[in-house]
Amino acid sequence: MRWVEEAFGETFGLLVGYLGWVSGVTNNASYPVLFLSYVHRQFFPELTATDNMFLHYIILAVISIMLAFVNYRGLDVVGKASILIFFISMVPFLLMVLIGIPKVDPNKWTETPSGEVEVFDDDALDQNGWFPAATIAGIAFRPFVNTLYWNFNGFDQASHFSTTIESKVAYRNGIYGSLVMASCAYLLPVLIATGATNIEQDQWKEGAFAVAATDIAGKWLGNWIVVSAGISLLAQFFSEMSSDSMQLQGMAERGQLPSLFGQKSRHDTPTYSLLLGLAVILLLLPFPFGLIIELSNFSFCLALTVEFLAFAQLLIRKGGKLAVCY
Amino acid sequence: MVATMEESSQGLNEPLIGGNSNDDSTLATSSTTLLDDCNDADAAAGGGINQSSTSKQNNHTNQKKISGFVLAIIVFFNACGGPFGIEPALKAAGNLYAIIGISVMPFIWSLPESIITYEMSSKYPCASGGKFFDSVDDHCNLLFVNSQTYNTSYTHIYRYRCAMG
């Protein structure tokens, strides 16, 4: 990242670029894996994944290659595909909100933790680890903060597109627009799902929104939400892959990587950067979802920390005006 | 809060004109009106950067640009992609605290992250691909910012960038 380089020198710039890229690509590999498991669970529950690992891998690989090809065709194609997926996947939530509003009982919003919840039985939260699972006022802080953090993260990815945007105003609108959309996409369904259904605290786990939608509007909406979860993963794959390849392209243009990775295809996409990303994804696909996510989180945390330190360092170095602005 | 936002985004219009212009005198004028303790050398340094970035920008004019809306969608999917994944927060904290957390989180985490990203990648847009925005004095366009002081601090960064070549 350019700013990190400015603050701490080239070595750190390269390190952060590398970590950010590793995090992005590993994260990317998790989307096809999740997508397949959604489809698997919803439509072929009788098959088990262990039956034919090879077929499983082939399907994942084909999905990844097809998605990578869309990315190769250019950012505007990715953008159009993403817009389409955005509407398909957000409409069921909009319907849930609209149908659910009359059923909302605001008293349910004020429910405090029951204190009898076994928090560490989810996939992502199944280990206590060495860090104490602090519970204050009934809130299990570690999974709480962890979940919030991960869900409200990722806006720094916009920096990778700073070169392909029409204008500075469009760039600003894009960043803040995505912030508003993301905030609404979390808050509104949560408000409706907690206010209009009787889902207990203990029952809130992955897939709970499909249960809530079934409660509110019927089975058809629940199914739609499962499908939209699936295709939303595909769009996440697109955006992640484009930002990763742009990052490699940027590093190549600054001479940190062989210039090969900066070469553009006739669709104006960095061909070899995409291919390298795809190669790593193909290597990671056989691994379980949790492992991929952990690898991604680890490098992401390191990279983001250095990015923020660089921001602070730049401001402090230029006169200690940090507190004035933020 | 809303009032502050509108006020400062109106304030943005003026510096933007200076930022988009390649004319040194316009730039110097807008800089000096905005920056009280900024001397001419600073303004000149800003102008130098502005011009060099413009010349580099020309190399990219053939590139297909995306609009703000498309960027918003792409970043949306980068950051969120829908409410999937927020469920464990409700489980860990119950309805009330989860709703509070989800309402507050955009302001204490995502907004600063977005602002930093916007500021920094406008400042150093070569981050991943090339050089573009002639960003001169259009930071501090958002919320709680004393733009005079802020502009001054960034002017020093321009000078630094200039020294770096």
The series of mean pLDDT values per 10 residues for chain A, 326 residues long, is 72 81 84 76 62 76 84 80 87 91 84 61 46 64 77 77 78 88 91 85 76 85 84 82 82 77 76 84 78 78 81 71 38
Indicate yes or no: CB of B114 within 8 angstroms of CB of A185: no
The reported pLDDT for the residue numbered B153 is: 39
Could you tell me the two tokens for A219? 């089975």
Q: Inform me whether the C-beta atom of residue A73 falls under 8 Å from chain B C-beta atoms.
A: no
Q: What does the alpha-carbon distance between residue B153 and residue B165 come to, in Å, rounded to a whole number?
A: 19
List the one residue out of A305, A325, A256 whose CA is nearest residue A156. Answer: A305
CB atoms within 10 A of CB A22: 19
A19 domain residue, yes or no: yes
A162 domain residue, yes or no: no
Indicate yes or no: CB of A182 within 8 angstroms of CB of B76: yes
The reported pLDDT for the residue numbered B91 is: 80
Indicate yes or no: CB of B73 within 8 angstroms of CB of A79: yes
Indicate yes or no: CB of B128 within 8 angstroms of CB of A110: no
Q: What is the ipTM of this complex?
A: 0.74
Indicate yes or no: CB of A236 within 8 angstroms of CB of B77: yes
What residues contact B114, with CB distance under 8 A and at least 6 apart? A155, A158, A175, A176, A179
Indicate yes or no: CB of B141 within 8 angstroms of CB of A159: no
The reported pLDDT for the residue numbered B132 is: 31
Indicate yes or no: CB of B126 within 8 angstroms of CB of A254: yes
A204 domain residue, yes or no: no
Q: Which amino acid is at B18?
A: G
A321 domain residue, yes or no: yes
Residue B128 has pLDDT above 60, yes or no: no
* Min Cα–Cα distance to chain A from B100, Å: 10
Q: State the helix-helix crossing angle for A53-72 and A219-253, rounded to 10 degrees.
A: 60
Host domain of residue A62: 2-100+216-325
Residue of B nearest to A13 (CA): B127
A171 domain residue, yes or no: no
What residues contact A144, with CB distance under 8 A and at least 6 apart? B88, B89, B92, B93, B97, B98, B101
A113 domain residue, yes or no: no
Q: Which amino acid is at B129?
A: G
pTM above threshold 0.80: no
Q: Inform me whether the C-beta atom of residue A44 falls under 8 Å from chain B C-beta atoms.
A: no
* Min Cα–Cα distance to chain B from A304, Å: 10
A81 domain residue, yes or no: yes
A186 domain residue, yes or no: no
List the one residue out of A315, A218, A29 whose CA is nearest residue B116. Answer: A315
Q: Taking every pair of C-alpha atoms in chain A, what is the biggest distance, in angstroms?
A: 64
- In B, which residues are within 8 Å of A263 by CB distance? none
- In A, which residues are within 8 Å of B131 by CB distance? 163
- In B, which residues are within 8 Å of A78 by CB distance? 74
- In A, which residues are within 8 Å of B102 by CB distance? 148, 186-187, 190
The reported pLDDT for the residue numbered A95 is: 92
CB atoms within 10 A of CB B13: 11
Structural domains of chain A, count: 1
Q: What does the alpha-carbon distance between residue A188 and residue B91 come to, in Å, rounded to a whole number?
A: 17
List the one residue out of A176, A190, A281 whose CA is nearest residue B82. Answer: A190
Residue A217's H or E segment, with its range, is: helix A208-217
β-strand partners of B72: none
List the one residue out of B50, B45, B11, B43 whose CA is nearest residue B29. Answer: B43
